[in-house]
Amino acid sequence: MTKNELQFFLDVATLAAQAGGAVLKYYLGNLTDVQEKGRSGDLVTEADKASEAAILAVLERHVPDHGILTEESGELGDLKSPYLWAIDPLDGTTNFAHQYPFFSASIGLLINGVPQVGVIYDPFHDELFQAAKGLGATCNNRLISVSKTNSLDKSLLVTGFAYDRRETTDNNYAEFAHLTHLTQGVRRSGAASIDLAHTACGRLDGYWERGLSPWDMAAGIVLVEEAGGKVTAYDTSPFQISSGRILATNGYLHERLSQTLIETPALSSWKDK
């Protein structure tokens, strides 16, 4: 894959994210149709659907022979293609429905199964995060890099909770509470793409989460890696996008955060002191 080819795909992803973001701006505060997709809190709105339509229109014009995996419509196009676009037209739907300002349109491109291009557009703050393999990472056309924080007690982390958190003990509550005591804080924005983008630009030092889908992570993975960070499984083994679990850090904290996640006692074993 040449740099010119990657730049072309980055330009396409940028157009798509901006098209989706424009739709989100239009619908913010003007929703009339908010529904649950099955689990409590797992929402879909007319903004999700309209943003997806705008994004798909851009991809159809520029890369009609590629495969697509999108949150609302599922699998589309040529799924045998080595190119697969992983799209979240509105990451942070619950936030959006409440007009809480953490949401995005997220566009990632996997080439032979590996995330290579990522664009995340935060229309509320008008921040455009862009990255492609070997081309670096930017926010509004300025180069970004991960933080240099090298100890957990000086770190600010971020995480999230899957929609099935009420139904399973594998719900991240124990890790959240434990790491809150070991760090300067653990935030929860409610949008995985924003968490990864903010880790890439050094606002946050590390991020972990489970129960994610490829469209939640694909774009942000490229941003973190191109900004100098590290992305793996919880145990630092190679990241598998199908696992739904991710550990992304500035690199300096990676081993320590991984060890802490693995060693955190299950919530069921906690006792009142």
Binding-site annotation: residue ranges for Mg(2+): 71, 88, 90-91, 216
* Beta strand pairing call for 206-209 and 156-159: parallel
Distance (Å) of CA 218 to CA 85, 166, 239, 250: 9, 26, 11, 17
- Please state the residue numbers annotated as binding site: 71, 88, 90-91, 216
Report the distance separating Cα 74 and Cα 212, nearest Å: 15
**Contact present, 174 and 145 (Cβ < 8 Å):** no
Q: How many residues does the chain have?
A: 273
CA angle 134, 231, 7 (to 5 degrees): 25
Q: Within a 10 A sphere around the Cβ of 124, how many other Cβ atoms? A: 18
Distance (Å) of CA 221 to CA 194, 237, 251: 11, 15, 13
